[in-house]
Amino acid sequence: MPKSVTGFSKLTKEEKINWIASNHFFNANEAIQTIKQYWNSDADLQQLHDEFIENTVSNFYLPLGVAPNFLINGKNHTIPMVIEESSVVAAASKSAKFWSTRGGFKATVLNSEKIGQVHFIFEGDAQKLNQFFKGIKSKFFAETESITKNMQKRGGGILDIELRDKTTELENYYQLQATFETKDSMGANFINSCLEQFAKTLKNEAEKHESFSSEEKNIEVIMSILSNYVPNCTVRVEVSCKVAELAEKNISDPSAFAQKFVQAVKIAEIEPFRAVTHNKGIMNGIDAVVLATGNDFRAVEAGVHAFASRTGKYSSLSHAKVENDIFTFWMEIPLALGTVGGLTSLHPLVKISLEMLGNPTAHELMEIVAVAGLAQNFAALRSLTTTGIQEGHMKMHLNNIINQFNVTDAERSAIKNHFKTNQVSHSAVVDYIESLKK
Ligand code: MEV
């Protein structure tokens, strides 16, 4: 069992690596070599990455791929995607190409409001608290002015603050719930700073409030934090075309395809086991662009799945219909994203990704990210309802399988050639490699 350690964070990077290597690895030198192999030779660049987090020992590479030909609201985009799963970028590209000749993607930001809460305990008369809140409401705005000044210049700020009585669910529990507009920043720091000031104002004012009893004066703030549930920060994306226009290589009967596709979506709408996988496919596209653009994919994931359960039952994020011979496929999702602040101006590849997208506003990025999700979902459902997912997936996965073996370049091309016409499976590849080596 590895030893515990004190003061680990104070060790230098070398010391940290040596400690890990000697305590966790049978072959310490090999471990050190692998960890260091991923260091960048540019010391400044390495330091930049080291400082993103704590106790950094190396870099963990993920591929950055690109999916071209995304026509969104009449504008062409090449979308950067950071993801480890093979076939996702290929699927996105295929979908993009398909829809680029059928009118492209239409995307609209519906709203962009974010929420933050001060959770507190008040032991006393709810009516008095209500009166008190009304009396001091303007102070919450006044005492956060130094924080909100710049945001207001950019057209954002605190939209409203309300007092919420949650005592029927938890004894003496109340909230200050505030709504914010954070323009091009994701806004987490801005919102949390405002909330912490609200909490101070709340406590200070309560202590001075004459009609409060001594118990009522003693408001206990439990915590102040933004919510990653953003049901009022949503974007709608859609594709549509005449059913007959769906015809393509694997879609010889577009009408049958459209019906089957709509059924597949309806299944995800009513069956949570399918909905989770269906939405996972959407998140393949969304997370990849969220990561490439330096946004917080955990926040996005948490918010999106909460939204998918908003009726009390987990359901599909996307929907499809055929009406008057028109096939329409669409989705509305919450996305709290930023194009300024955070990693956006720090990580060189994030800067590249944003520039590749034409340095979008946060609203434009919401549209692009949602489109990547819908495109991914379309590609997955198209495969699932026609050829099945494995054919394409295993073709893309072939490289990963080959890389597990020591093969020459000539053997690699022979394998790729062979599996152009034969079904790919792990054992089939192993058998074929063995036959080549004989
Ligand atoms: C795999 O990463 C994603 C899919 O399972 C999505 C889906 O089933 O819709 C193919």
- Return the pLDDT at 62: 97
The rounded distance, in Å, linking the Cα atoms of 41 and 371 is 37
pLDDT at 390 over 80: no
Please write the tens of the pLDDT for every residue from 391-431.
Answer: 777 777 888 889 888 899 999 999 989 988 888 888 999 99
Mean pLDDT of the chain: 96
The rounded distance, in Å, linking the Cα atoms of 403 and 231 is 43
Ligand 1 shell residues, CB under 6 Å: 85, 277-278, 280-281, 284, 380, 384, 389
pLDDT at 118 over 90: yes
Residue partners of 272: CB distance under 8 A and separation at least 6: 313, 314, 315
Q: Catalytic site residue 196?
A: no
- Kindly report the CATH class assigned to 114-226: alpha beta
- Return the pLDDT at 161: 98
CB 56 within 8 A of CB 45: no
One-letter amino acid at 398 equals: L
Q: 226: which strand partners? A: 116
> Tokens in use for 127?
């009516």
Q: Which atom of ligand 1 is nearest to the CA of 377?
A: 9
Please tell me the distance between residue 231's alpha carbon and the centre of ligand 1 in angstroms.
25
Please tell me the distance between residue 424's alpha carbon and the centre of ligand 1 in angstroms.
18
Please write the tens of the pLDDT for every residue from 155-173.
Answer: 999 999 999 999 999 999 9
The rounded distance, in Å, linking the Cα atoms of 69 and 240 is 17
What is the mean pLDDT of the segment spanning 23-31? 95
Please tell me the distance between residue 89's alpha carbon and the centre of ligand 1 in angstroms.
13
Q: What is the CATH number of domain 64-111+234-387?
A: 3.90.770.10
Q: In angstroms, what CA-CA distances link 431 with 38, 404, 435?
A: 33, 14, 6
- Return the pLDDT at 438: 82
- Return the pLDDT at 394: 77
What is the mean pLDDT of the segment spanning 81-86? 96
Q: Which one is predicted more confidently, 286 or 436?
A: 286
What is the mean pLDDT of the segment spanning 144-156? 96
Q: 316: which strand partners? A: none
Please write the tens of the pLDDT for every residue from 271-327.
Answer: 999 999 999 999 999 999 999 999 999 999 999 999 999 999 999 999 999 999 999
Please write the tens of the pLDDT for every residue from 57-69.
Answer: 999 999 999 999 9
CB 266 within 8 A of CB 385: no
Half-sphere exposure of 268 (CA within 13 A, CB side): 24
Please write the tens of the pLDDT for every residue from 173-211.
Answer: 999 999 999 999 999 999 999 999 999 999 999 999 999
All structural domains of the chain with their residue ranges:
8-50, 64-111+234-387, 114-226, 393-437
Phi/psi class of residue 74: alpha, beta or left (left: φ > 0; alpha: ψ in -120 to 50)? left
Residue partners of 311: CB distance under 8 A and separation at least 6: none
Confidence (pTM): 0.92
- Return the pLDDT at 395: 77
pLDDT at 51 over 90: yes
Kindly tell me the sign of the dihedral angle through the C-alpha atoms of 7, 12, 13, 14. Answer: negative
Q: Out of 49, 85, 139, 217, pick the active-site residue.
A: 85
Would you give the DSSP letter of residue 345?
A: G
pLDDT at 389 over 90: no
